Structure 1
Amino acid sequence: MKKISLILSFVLFTVMGASAQIERPVTWSYAAKKISKTEAVVYIKATMESGWHIYSQTLKPGGPQPTKFSFAPSKDYTLVGKTTEPKATTYFDENFKMNVSYFGNQVVFQQKIKLNKATVIVKGKVEFMVCNDEKCLPPEEISFSVSVK
């Protein structure tokens, strides 16, 4: 009887642990490429699991959380303009009663920088919200670091 109780307890905790896993439907990757001796582009790529999407940086207030980038101040480089993104898919969202723009599958954001040194490390954070047709996960903030050589 003690053995059966132990086995049932193990199964129960295993099932509970599996159902408590944190969903992470977005993976981020980073790269950089010099375009001249004094300029480079930092690439920030989001890859979403099937059915999930993140939102454009250009959403109006009152809707879902837009994707936001912040870069750590550094004497080694200067940001040139704002972080750019490709054309997003836009539709009227009944939940928010407004047009929203989003990216599914994958998207690559780009930030041009002016180099003050030959080799730099670009650090920053991306804040984003991911949704599918059934739910949205709370906004999340991810730190990144990209070497430019």
Structure 2
Amino acid sequence: MKRLLLFITLFSISAVGFSQFKDPVKWTFAAKKIADKVYEVTYTAVVEKPWHIYSQTTPKGGPVPTKFSYKTNPLLTIKGIPKETGNLQKKHEEVFGVDVQYFDNKVTFTQIVNVKSSVKTNVSGTIEYMVCNDSECLPPKKVSFDLPLQ
């Protein structure tokens, strides 16, 4: 009985401890047809205050920049990196020793995707990103997406 009580107590403590690791970023995804065989795919990150998410162009040596990786699909052509729309902040971070670029509150990444034929297919992959506030950074995280292009 004592072992069971000890187990329940330890399990409860660790559950409370792990529940503190939350993600202050909420992602939404959308795909919109803008021309014949051309789609605009948007990835929107809403970031809780006081956190911020880093730009794709944050230099090496700094925090992990946001990075989009796409699963291979022979029916799609994806060129370049998504366009960033939001209130871009630039600041020299002594901790990293580089000038960082980040977004507070909300940022939308927009990617143009060309479909090679008129068939239904999906664009899918992962977004890797990192968030920090004035006192700490959370470990980099990956989120998956899978959007139909119809």
TM-score tier after normalising by the smaller chain length:
0.7 to 0.9
Q: Which residue of 2 aligns with 1:110?
A: 110
Q: Which residue of 1 aligns with 2:137?
A: 136
Using the alignment, how far apart are the partners of 1:77 and 1:114 within structure 2? Answer: 6
Please say if residues 69 and 127 of structure 1, whose CA atoms lie closer than 8 Å, have aligned partners that are also in contact: yes
Q: Which residue of 2 aligns with 1:52?
A: 51
Q: Which residue of 2 aligns with 1:146?
A: 147
Using the alignment, how far apart are the partners of 1:17 and 1:45 within structure 2? Answer: 30
The alignment's C-alpha RMSD in Å is: 2.1
Q: Per the alignment, do residues 84 and 11 of structure 1 end up closer, same or farther by CA in structure 2, a change over 3 Å counting?
A: same
1:37-48 matched pairs, under 5 angstroms: 37-48=36-47
Deviations, residues 95-125 of structure 1 (Å, cap 9, x unaligned): 1122100011111101101112343210011
Shift of 1:56: 0.4
Pick aligned residue for 1:18 from 16, 19, 37: 16
1:42-81 matched pairs, under 5 angstroms: 42-81=41-80
Matched residues, number:
146
SS in 2 for 1:113: strand
Q: Which residue of 1 aligns with 2:84?
A: 85
Shift of 1:83: 1.5
Q: Per the alignment, do residues 13 and 41 of structure 1 end up closer, same or farther by CA in structure 2, a change over 3 Å counting?
A: same
Q: Per the alignment, do residues 10 and 82 of structure 1 end up closer, same or farther by CA in structure 2, a change over 3 Å counting?
A: closer
Q: Which residue of 1 aligns with 2:35?
A: 36
Using the alignment, how far apart are the partners of 1:16 and 1:10 within structure 2? Answer: 10
Shift of 1:14: 3.8
Indicate whether 1:121 and 2:122 are aligned.
yes
Point out where structure 1 has 5 or more consecutive residues left out of the alignment: none
Deviations, residues 27-73 of structure 1 (Å, cap 9, x unaligned): 11100111111211110111111111110000111111000001111
Q: Which has the larger radius of gyration?
A: 1
Comparing 27-36 with 75-84, greater Cα deviation is found at: 75-84
Using the alignment, how far apart are the partners of 1:50 and 1:117 within structure 2? Answer: 43
Letter in 1 for 2:139: P
Letter in 2 for 1:92: H
